[in-house]
Amino acid sequence: MTAAHPAAGPAEPDGPTGLGGPAGPAAGLDAPAELGGVRAWLRRAGEPVHLELACAEHPDPAAGPAGRTVVRLTACAGSVAAHELVELLAAGATVTLRLDGCEAPEDVRAHLAGVHAVLTAAGVTGLRLEDAPPPRDGGRRLGRRRARPVLDAAHMPLSRRHLLGLGASTDPAPDPTGLTAHERLVAALHALGAGEAGAAEGGPAG
């Protein structure tokens, strides 16, 4: 990525990053990455999905292992709010956030450290941060590789299930309408059964 990340700001007890972590890379961005369209698409998918989220400026998100749904973000990976990632987990996805190519991956890790600690304490392992490029099949060099399709977070497609009228959501993810960023984070953590762990880690209580 070519965009530089702003320096981390002071601690935020109840800000969008949640859990009292640093303001992180998202604090100074005018247009943070939005995942509302991805969340709506996921709730219509009707099956488990491994989402791989790549920065808007990633040079080649199509390269990587098969079996993942690759989505190019609308902005820097460091601008994704923690509550939006947890909402994707609550909707049933495994989420890998790609940091390869990022100029300040440690800032992104610091931005998500609080919520990652809460998820880990609750035994939720669905959020992964990858600093290195995704591994190729067993490290073997293959002659010609089929590029993975890359979806646009701002223009997610309609699924075949939705077109057939089979896309009604049955997942336990909360409806974020009208909630603040912190309330959305708390609701998503509780949907994952991580609310008590959050309180134990100094995060949002139930």
How many structural domains compose the chain?
1
Tens of pLDDT along the chain (206 residues) come to 544 444 444 444 344 444 544 344 433 344 688 899 999 898 888 788 999 999 888 888 998 888 999 999 999 888 999 999 999 999 999 999 998 877 788 999 999 999 999 999 999 999 999 987 766 554 444 445 578 999 999 999 875 554 445 555 445 556 677 889 999 999 999 999 886 544 444 444 43
Q: In a 3-state reduction of DSSP, which class is residue 49?
A: strand
Per-residue pLDDT, 183:
93
Q: Does an H or E element contain 198, and which?
A: helix 195-200
Residue 118 structural domain: 48-134+147-162+183-188
> Does residue 10 lie within any of the structural domains?
no
> Cα–Cα distance between 158 and 156 in angstroms, integer?
7
pTM confidence score: 0.72
Q: Is residue 11 part of a domain?
A: no
Domain-located, residue 14 = no
Examine residue 74 and state whether it is found in any structural domain, yes or no.
yes
Q: Decide if 112 is inside a domain.
A: yes
Q: Is 139 exposed, middle or buried (0-12, 13-18, 19+ CB in 10 A)?
A: exposed
* Contacts of residue 96, Cβ cutoff 8 Å, sequence gap at least 6: 50, 51, 52, 53, 68, 128, 129, 130
Query: Given this model, what pLDDT does residue 186 score?
Result: 92
Answer whether residue 193 is part of any domain: no
- The predicted structure's pLDDT at residue 44: 84
- Domain membership flag for residue 52: yes
Give me the pLDDT at residue 132, please: 77
Q: Is residue 174 part of a domain?
A: no
| Cα angle: 73, vertex 35, 1; to 5 degrees | 20
**Secondary structure class of 96 (helix, strand, coil):** strand
